[in-house]
């Protein structure tokens, strides 16, 4: 990273992959020490992750210290065109994320209609979330992940890769790595989401734009999980509607990506 650069957006682009990798490694070692020192943390699968996330976040706070431009970035989020794009990308990605579960749910409904004696698939129905798990999701998924993941995957990984291998390959590779960290059913939607975030970031040079979309996405996802709303979304009469909306959203995302890809090739 170049501490001589005082612009926030430019300083972010100067953070190197090896610097981030070293920060993650050091954070991992410190997390292990903390876990061994406090058994209550070591025995809790949720708590043991928090120190790691917080430590990496502190690295970014240190790496970006003394910069200016965040206030201007925030004001641009509030501009009409940017607000419109934030909500558009958020909505179509959110609906597309339902497509895997929606296909399985509608298939299950169809099979049960044709063969009434068939047992439904209960694994599609979410379990009631424990208060401790809900608190962890609020802190990690809503408060930390949108900031940390956008800084790491778009701010550092995508920025460094596009210098080495070009814009489109960098989008695909960084989004693929981003998607690996998500559950199996969400890998495809996370990959597509990552590409959209790369496009938004490249168009605006404003990491707060992608953080805003990521925040809204995770906020709604946690709400759906915690409220049990999924039980209603993927049952009749809503299941076919959700499937249609998911397919339409997928087509809209494809058009959005292809349109921008053409401009990068020009």
φ, ψ (nearest 5 deg) of residue 93 = -70, -40
Tokens of 182: 């998500």
pLDDT (0 to 100) of residue 185: 63
Cα–Cα distance for residue pair 214/208, rounded to 1 Å: 10
Domain layout of the chain by residue ranges:
1-68, 70-265
pLDDT (0 to 100) of residue 36: 86
Contacts of 12 (CB under 8 A, 6+ apart): 64, 151, 155, 156, 159, 207
Tokens of 209: 């734009």
- In the chain (266 residues long), the average pLDDT of successive 10-residue segments reads 94 96 96 86 76 95 95 94 95 94 85 69 56 84 95 97 94 96 81 97 96 96 87 86 96 96 79
* CA geometry: angle 24, 26, 28, nearest 5 deg: 65
The tokens 């999701």 sit on which residue?
A: 137
pLDDT (0 to 100) of residue 266: 56
Helix axes 70-77, 80-96, angle to 10 degrees: 70
DSSP state of 185: G
Burial of residue 197, with CB atoms counted within 10 A of its CB: 0-12 exposed, 13-18 middle, 19 or more buried = buried
pLDDT (0 to 100) of residue 118: 61
**For the range 87-91, what are the long-range contacts, defined as Cβ-Cβ under 8 Å and sequence gap of 24 or more?**
87/216, 89/196, 89/200, 89/213, 89/256, 90/213, 90/216, 90/217, 91/249
pLDDT (0 to 100) of residue 120: 55
Burial of residue 2, with CB atoms counted within 10 A of its CB: 0-12 exposed, 13-18 middle, 19 or more buried = exposed
DSSP state of 97: T
Tokens of 120: 């439904």
């Amino acid at each position: 990273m170049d501490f001589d650069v005082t612009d926030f957006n430019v300083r972010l682009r100067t953070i190197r992959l090896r610097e981030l990798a070293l920060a993650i490694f050091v954070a991992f070692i410190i997390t292990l020490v903390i876990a061994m020192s406090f058994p209550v943390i070591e025995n809790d699968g949720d708590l043991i992750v928090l120190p790691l996330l917080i430590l990496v976040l502190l690295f970014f706070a240190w790496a970006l210290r003394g910069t200016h431009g965040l206030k201007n970035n925030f004001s641009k989020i509030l501009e009409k065109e940017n607000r419109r794009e934030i909500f558009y990308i958020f909505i179509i990605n959110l609906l597309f994320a339902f497509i895997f579960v929606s296909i399985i749910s509608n298939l299950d409904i169809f099979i049960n209609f044709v063969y009434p004696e068939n047992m439904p698939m209960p694994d599609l129905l979410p379990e009631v979330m424990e208060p401790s798990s809900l608190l962890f999701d609020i802190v990690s998924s809503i408060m930390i992940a949108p900031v940390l993941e956008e800084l790491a995957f778009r701010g550092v990984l995508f920025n460094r890769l596009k210098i080495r291998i070009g814009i489109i390959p960098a989008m695909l590779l960084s989004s693929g790595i981003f998607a690996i960290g998500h559950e199996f059913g969400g890998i495809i939607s996370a990959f597509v989401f990552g590409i959209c975030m790369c496009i938004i970031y490249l168009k605006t040079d404003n990491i707060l734009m992608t953080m805003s979309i990521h925040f809204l996405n995770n906020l709604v996802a946690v709400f759906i999980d915690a409220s049990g709303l999924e039980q209603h979304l993927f049952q009749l009469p809503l299941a076919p509607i959700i499937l249609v909306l998911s397919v339409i959203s997928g087509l809209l995302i494809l058009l959005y990506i292809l349109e921008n890809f053409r401009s990068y090739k020009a």
